[in-house]
Structure 1
Amino acid sequence: MKSESKSQHVGKVTHHELKQTLGTWQLWGIAVGLVISGEYFGWSYGWASAGTLGFVITAVFIAAMYTTFIFSFTELTTSIPHAGGPFAYARHAFGPTGGYLAGAATLVEFVFAPPAIALAIGAYLHVQFPGLEPKHAAMGAYLVFMALNIVGVQIAAAFELCVTVLAIFELLVFMGVVSPGFEWSNFTKGGWSGADTFSMGSFHGMFAAIPFAIWFFLAIEGVAMAAEEAKNPKRSIPIAYVAGILTLVVLAIGVMVFAGAAGDWTKLSNINDPLPQAMKFIVGEHSGWMHMLVWLGLFGLVASFHGIILGYSRQIFALARAGYLPEWLSKVHPRFKTPHRAILAGGVVGIAAIYSDELIQFGGQTLTANIVTMSVFGAIVMYIISMLSLFKLRRSDPDMERPFRAPLFPFFPAFALVAAVICLATMVYFNFLVAIVFAIFLALGYVYFLLTRHQREAAPADALLEE
């Protein structure tokens, strides 16, 4: 009887399979593309609280956290190449409840990041077309790139690689164009939370800026969710991750320093398009360089937006396949072999967030800032659970095949874990209302989790998650 049940389950799995088509360069393109919009906007909100110099310290700390995290996370990704990513690792380590917490946190991260990016796309287009309402443009972006993701992962990944390379090129062009006006005194003036000298109050601003430093690197871990679609995940994913994080660290430092040294950085600290505005200091409002930046700058936003749609759809797909979400969300398109229902479901939530000013704009923060913060809460909780999963699996499953092992274990994952805990504590302190909303999301999800045990018992067998 048991073997019959397993046979039925195996038969069901064929309706939930993804195609293995992605190579190393495509995975690198996804890794960098997922994040690169963070170099174009979002981070400058950190200047408003920390100042430029204070934010440099915050950003260096966060860069160290992400570097150690990615080197450690890659061990999990190559050992358990699964579309659920962190959900799969936590379920291996801590059972269904651990899987729920990691999956729900990842879902918040990846569902709330796209509306923030879509709003930035709208802001960039509004610069070029003042009559275009940014929110309508953001919704249009959702419709276009959901459709592209549905058509097929190979096409989507090829597009992602192209726009990522163009986005990197554009950031280099930006640095080159503003370099003639580079003045270090511009960057350092009022660089400690608006003051010229360091004080104890500078610490307050540096901690408050943590979510916006995280935005520089947020979502790079999304490559894990493409693992089932990689041709050789045990070889290609480590290369994509390591090359990706190094690329992003260099770009983040360059963009931040060159933008801040171009003019009065305080005019860039609370807006969605800091790079075009920084370029205005040097070339003026009507320069051809200015218009080129606006148009090519969209490539960076599009790369992340498009890549994160891929990420959230695979997370929804994996959770639904395992019975943590309604089973119908795990259906794969019969022709394109993509999780089309999961793509559409995440888009509905994102579009609703774009038009929910009254619900999301609170605590003295802008709509974009609150959406960014919500996404970061999900990311940090997931990072903590992932590092705990790594330590747990090293003890409970020492014989697991590990094609890539975290270097300097246990120091790298321990640093990433402690840094993530510090980030979570400070974020709760400085963003208490957003933390309450995030906690409510997790609590409501947990109630659903408890009420739907039968879904997980009836879910198709998944060899990668068998315990």
Structure 2
Amino acid sequence: MSKQDKQQGAVSHHELKQTLGTWHLWSIAVGLVISGEYFGWSLGWAQAGTLGFLLTTIFIAAMFLAFIFSFTELTTSIPHAGGPFAYAHHAFGETGGYLAGAATLIQYVFTPPTIALAIGGYLSFQFKGLDPKTAALGAYAVFMLLNIVGIQIAAAFELVVTAFAIFELLVFMGVVSPGFAFTNFVAHGWSGQEHFSSLAIPGMFAAIPFAVWFFGCIDGVAMAAEEAKNPRRSIPRAYIGAIVTLVVLAFGVMVFAGGTGDWRQIANKDAPLPEAMRIVVGEHSGWLHMMVWLGLGGLVASFHGIILGYSRQIFAQARAGYLPRFLANVNPMFKTPHWAILTGGVIGIATIYVVSWVAKGGADEVMFDIAVISVLGMMAMYGISMLALFKLRVSEPNLARPFRAPGYPFVPAFALFGIVVSLASMIWFYPVLAGLFVGVVAVGYVVFRMTRRARDEAPSESMIVPTTSMND
């Protein structure tokens, strides 16, 4: 059998099933992020206060709007399961592909452990004495299995649980509204101070990772592009609808939670919404216990969606020879990358226990460290993606672009500016975690240079967008 025949057989063995429509993609985009409305962001209050964090969030929301309108051009032009990895490979070659791929893997493999611990936090709120790490392990087992069973079942579940999670946030805002007072929100609003001072500015920059938590991982739809029925039309609709949905929910949840009472009682809590509701309805209210259970819906939506995201990223990089080849195998019955799903899960579970042991702190401290590392990966990948957009406009002017970034080059440039500011702030305020991130990427690069043969032997079609994905 010739090399070409072998490669064609390998590509067919590593193809994904195309079943996703616009609503599926919208639910994946919102579901990937919506857990950020339930936890994580309140850590930003501890850094900047409510008003300082509000300004930080406005800046980050504007950056994400600019980024999504720009990123959609890449996703519709190159609807590839590798997402940013594929865009950077097209623009900058193998090394660019490695850097974007490594950053994306860090983002998507490190985010699920944080959400899994948050699921444990919500459950331990209800069941006193439950170890959040034990609950996180159970969450991984259940949702890895669901993702293996099939993309259509997984996407249908994501649509239902995302709609439910949005409803839950609306319920939260409705229940706490009788106790809302804007004076509560603005009290001590500048890093715990009554009035703005220069001391508030460092806190606003330090809070950037937690504002990102409101919107981060929305890019994950790119990893489902090969499984979309009509990516060049459905992806723009899904992305735009998702970012509008998330912006409205983010500001609604933050303002209502901060106006219920003394917000300093909620900052640094791993379950801020039940804590805010407790202030209004009391310890023994049925609303409070309902919110704990309802809150799990948002966490589950993101956790389940990000497993889909990391598995497709691992799958695409393995198919192209960047990771061990067996990770690109697709289950013959379910047509899902089962080894990629399982491998990312094992790494995530190990991360929870290793970081817990190293930090020797509670779940809050572990979540903080993992969250910052995942956001570092996210911002690095976003920056490379925007650079790829500029590069491809020059190097591939005839590339089919069903959706063009509006306001080019100013909108993508603003997105890139916000990304650079975010990265610089995180490096300044969290140098140890930033050093760990750079160290992981550097070690990975050494392995990347030593495994060139695997990429040379990968099917040449592995970096080409499947023709069936390109049809309108």
TM (norm. structure 1) is: 0.98
Question: What is aligned with 2:418?
Answer: 419
Hey, what's the Cα distance between the residues in 2 that align with 1:139 and 1:463? 33
Question: What is aligned with 1:368?
Answer: 367
Contact 2:329–2:337 (CA under 8 A) maintained in structure 1? yes
Hey, what's the Cα distance between the residues in 2 that align with 1:250 and 1:269? 21
- Deviation track 1:57-113 (CA, whole Å, cap 9, x = no partner) reads 000000001000000000000000000000000000000000000000000000000
Question: What is aligned with 1:61?
Answer: 59
Aligned counterpart in structure 2 of residue 101 of structure 1, from 92, 99, 102: 99
**Per-residue deviation at 1:127?**
1.2
Contact 2:74–2:389 (CA under 8 A) maintained in structure 1? yes
Contact 2:320–2:462 (CA under 8 A) maintained in structure 1? no
**Per-residue deviation at 1:354?**
1.4
Q: How does 1:334-353 map to 2 (within 5 A)?
A: 334-353=332-351
Question: What is aligned with 2:190?
Answer: 192
Question: What is aligned with 2:320?
Answer: 322
- Deviation track 1:415-440 (CA, whole Å, cap 9, x = no partner) reads 00011011101100000000011011
Aligned counterpart in structure 2 of residue 110 of structure 1, from 108, 111, 115: 108
Unaligned segments of structure 2, at least 5 residues:
466-472
Contact 1:13–1:461 (CA under 8 A) maintained in structure 2? no
Contact 1:123–1:272 (CA under 8 A) maintained in structure 2? yes
- Deviation track 1:188-234 (CA, whole Å, cap 9, x = no partner) reads 11100010111111110000000000011110000000000000000
Hey, what's the Cα distance between the residues in 2 that align with 1:142 and 1:419? 33
Hey, what's the Cα distance between the residues in 2 that align with 1:392 and 1:465? 18
Question: What is aligned with 2:395?
Answer: 396
**Per-residue deviation at 1:464?**
4.5
Question: What is aligned with 1:444?
Answer: 443
Question: What is aligned with 2:382?
Answer: 383
Hey, what's the Cα distance between the residues in 1 that align with 2:461 and 2:380? 25
Question: What is aligned with 2:82?
Answer: 84
Q: What is the RMSD of the two structures over their aligned residues, measured on CA atoms?
A: 1.3
Question: What is aligned with 2:72?
Answer: 74
Q: Percent identity?
A: 67
Amino acid at match of 2:418: A
Question: What is aligned with 1:241?
Answer: 239
Hey, what's the Cα distance between the residues in 2 that align with 1:330 and 1:463? 11
Question: What is aligned with 1:459?
Answer: 458
Question: What is aligned with 1:9?
Answer: 7
1:40 partnered with 2:38: yes
Question: What is aligned with 1:290?
Answer: 288
Hey, what's the Cα distance between the residues in 1 that align with 2:23 and 2:449? 41
Question: What is aligned with 2:211?
Answer: 213
Identify which range, 4-13 or 147-156, moves more after superposition. Answer: 4-13
Identify which range, 456-465 or 125-134, moves more after superposition. Answer: 456-465
Amino acid at match of 2:213: W
Hey, what's the Cα distance between the residues in 2 that align with 1:461 and 1:335? 26
Question: What is aligned with 2:404?
Answer: 405
Contact 1:353–1:360 (CA under 8 A) maintained in structure 2? no
**Per-residue deviation at 1:453?**
0.1
Contact 1:13–1:460 (CA under 8 A) maintained in structure 2? yes
**Per-residue deviation at 1:361?**
6.0
Hey, what's the Cα distance between the residues in 2 that align with 1:460 and 1:269? 50
Q: How does 1:171-190 map to 2 (within 5 A)?
A: 171-190=169-188
- Counterpart of 1:111 in 2: which secondary structure? helix
**Per-residue deviation at 1:11?**
1.9
Question: What is aligned with 1:268?
Answer: 266
Amino acid at match of 1:62: I
- Counterpart of 1:21 in 2: which secondary structure? coil
Hey, what's the Cα distance between the residues in 2 that align with 1:10 and 1:388? 32
- Counterpart of 2:199 in 1: which secondary structure? helix
Hey, what's the Cα distance between the residues in 2 that align with 1:228 and 1:361? 42
- Deviation track 1:272-292 (CA, whole Å, cap 9, x = no partner) reads 100000000010111110111
Contact 1:90–1:386 (CA under 8 A) maintained in structure 2? yes
Q: How many residues align?
A: 463
Hey, what's the Cα distance between the residues in 2 that align with 1:7 and 1:417? 42
Contact 1:17–1:332 (CA under 8 A) maintained in structure 2? yes
Hey, what's the Cα distance between the residues in 2 that align with 1:369 and 1:189? 25
Contact 1:38–1:215 (CA under 8 A) maintained in structure 2? yes
Q: How does 1:135-154 map to 2 (within 5 A)?
A: 135-154=133-152
**Per-residue deviation at 1:132?**
1.8
- Deviation track 1:225-254 (CA, whole Å, cap 9, x = no partner) reads 000000000000000000000000000000
TM (norm. structure 2) is: 0.97
- Counterpart of 1:337 in 2: which secondary structure? coil
Q: In the superposition, relative to structure 1, how do residues 188 and 171 fare at CA in structure 2: closer, same or farther (>3 Å)?
A: same
Amino acid at match of 2:172: F
**Per-residue deviation at 1:121?**
0.2
Amino acid at match of 1:435: A
Hey, what's the Cα distance between the residues in 2 that align with 1:259 and 1:82? 39
Contact 2:319–2:462 (CA under 8 A) maintained in structure 1? no
Amino acid at match of 2:412: P
Contact 2:320–2:463 (CA under 8 A) maintained in structure 1? no
Identify which range, 7-16 or 142-151, moves more after superposition. Answer: 7-16
- Counterpart of 1:355 in 2: which secondary structure? helix
